[in-house]
Structure 1
Amino acid sequence: MKRRTAREKALQALFQIDVSQSEPSSAIEHVLEGKPGDEFLSTLVFGVVEHEQEVDKLISENLEKWSLDRLAIVDRNLLRLAVFELKFLPETPENVVFDEAIEIAKKYGDDQSSKFINGVLSKVKQKLKSE
């Protein structure tokens, strides 16, 4: 499975977990639709779920005039995915995380999602560099 596909599937699984409180393993199974699993996909989904509080805190600290619960579900979970990757998967280059998040936002979000995601991720990146 390509990493872009794994990220898209991870977003779909996180969306399902967020909306219906599904178990991560069943959400992954559902988005795979009977196809074989992927280690990167599992790392992303289980990693976001495991570090959700820390990731959400980092996102919340970098939102202006927004709260995490007011964000569109797609945007919130895409930010969780990208922030998890920035903070916990240093082997993925930052520009790749940004590019992937922006492209996925264009596909699954609304007209403003890609700019919004880019802005928040830029602030998160600065915060992580200053730690």
Structure 2
Amino acid sequence: MKRRQARELALQALFQVDNNEISVEEAIGHVTEEQDEFLTQLVKGTIEHKEEIDASLVARLENWSLERLPKIERTVLRIAVYELLYTEDIPAKVVINEALEVCKVYGDEKSSRFVNGVLSKYTEE
């Protein structure tokens, strides 16, 4: 499985976890039958570090609260911030570009611009 596909499936799985009371394994099983280490790492890592990720995002959101963000943007941001903060093998530019591409598929034009603005703050620091 390519990493872009894994990121898209991670978005879908995290939606499942957020909206239903199901386990990570069940959520991943709902979106794919394929076993993928990167997909599992993204979903489990994002959930395990959710508090730290959310605190990091809140510090960078201007005139927005995390709760007010549309679910697509919030979930894409959480996945990307997980990758930026907790993985070392993926360059920040790649993480941001991938997040923007996922936004273009699942969000709208404004989604990708907003996500880019927030994530670019991580590279400026």
**5+ unaligned residues in a row in structure 1: which ranges?**
none
Normalised TM-score (structure 2): 0.95
| Residues 62 and 120, structure 1, Cα contact 8 Å, conserved in 2 | yes
- 79, 82, 97: which is aligned to 2:80? 82
Distance 1:111 1:95 in 2: 19
> Secondary structure of 1:12's match?
helix
Residue 16 (str. 1) matches residue 21 (str. 2): no
- 67, 91, 95: which is aligned to 1:97? 95
Q: Deviations over 1:17-59 (max 9, x none)?
A: 1122432111011010xx3210000000000000000001001
Between stretches 108-117 and 38-47, larger displacement belongs to 108-117
Between stretches 18-27 and 5-14, larger displacement belongs to 18-27
- 51, 57, 64: which is aligned to 1:66? 64
Normalised TM-score (structure 1): 0.91
| Residues 17 and 23, structure 1, Cα contact 8 Å, conserved in 2 | yes
What letter matches 2:46 in structure 1? V
- 30, 40, 43: which is aligned to 1:42? 40
Deviant stretches of 4+, over 3 Å: none
| Residues 86 and 125, structure 1, Cα contact 8 Å, conserved in 2 | no
| Residues 7 and 44, structure 1, Cα contact 8 Å, conserved in 2 | yes
Q: Residue in 1 aligned with 2:116?
A: 118
Percent same amino acid among aligned pairs? 50
What letter matches 2:90 in structure 1? T
Q: Residue in 1 aligned with 2:7?
A: 7
What letter matches 1:71 in structure 2? L
Distance 2:81 2:3 in 1: 16
Distance 2:17 2:67 in 1: 15
Number of aligned residues: 125
| Residues 102 and 114, structure 1, Cα contact 8 Å, conserved in 2 | yes
